[in-house]
Structure 1
Amino acid sequence: MPLTDAPPKWADYPDKEVTTIQNPNIHDAEAQQLSPQTLALAVLGWVLEDGERAERYLDLTGLDADSLRGGLNDPTVLASVFDFLANHEPDLIRAAEALAVTPEELIAARQELTS
């Protein structure tokens, strides 16, 4: 393998096996799913990591940085990030891919948060 400044990729090691590590205290695959609140925070992080997307989210929701910070425990504020994605399918799909969930799981989490 040539020496470069780039970090190695898994493709550089075709003979290596990838191992998934799971919490040994959780034996049920369903229990390993993220809670709707945790998923909302992960989605929020994804939304805010892009400046233009973050600005669009804040503009469309009417939130500002202080109200967003203050509402991180508020189901309505958390649900707003799912609504934001649901209203722009390309972002919904990209967020799902980035978080290794399905778009349907994101929508279901929103419904669970507000029920």
Structure 2
Amino acid sequence: MRPIAEDGKSDSGPDSGDAAVTLALMALGWTLRDGGRADRLLALTGLDGDALREGIGNPAILAAVLAFLADHEPDLIACADAINTSPAALIAAQERLSR
């Protein structure tokens, strides 16, 4: 499911902060559906469940989730396919959220 732009068209890239947040949240949901991947996310980012829950609206936390995916291309591609976007859009969202 692609984020919808204000003009009603599918947004193919995270041109806005809202689109970047939407992609990051979708990616986080995808990541957490697999227990092993979720454990790896927590281990590699240094986050714990409480920090992740408390930081869900924090752009730095969301950027860290996308960086986690970007660091393992198979997961990046699988996530992009699962949420109907492109790997490039996920990377662009990470860059947007890292600003």
1:108 aligns with 2:96: no
Distance 2:50 2:94 in 1: 22
Say if 2:79 is the partner of 1:95: yes
Name structure 2 gaps, 5 residues minimum. Answer: none
Cα distance in 2 between the residues matched to 1:60 and 1:112: 21
Separation (CA, whole Å) in 2 of partners of 1:56 and 1:69: 16
Mapped pair 1:54 → 2:73: no
Structure 1 residue 44 and structure 2 residue 3: aligned?
A: no
TM-score, with structure 1 as normaliser: 0.72
Equivalent residue pairs, number? 89
- The structure carrying a bigger helix percent of its residues is 2
TM-score by length of 2: 0.84
Counterpart Cα distance in 2 of 1:108 and 1:27: 20
Q: Hey, what does 2:55 align to over in structure 1?
A: 71
1:16-55 equivalences under 5 Å are 26-29=6-9, 32-33=10-11, 35-55=19-39
Equivalent position amino acid for 2:65 in 1 = V
Residue 27 of structure 1: CA displacement? 3.5
Unmatched segments (≥5 aa) in structure 1? 1-22
Q: Equivalents in 2 of 1:70, 1:27: separation in Å?
A: 32
> Larger relative CO (CA 8 A, sep 6+): 1 or 2?
2
How much does 1:111 deviate?
Answer: 0.8
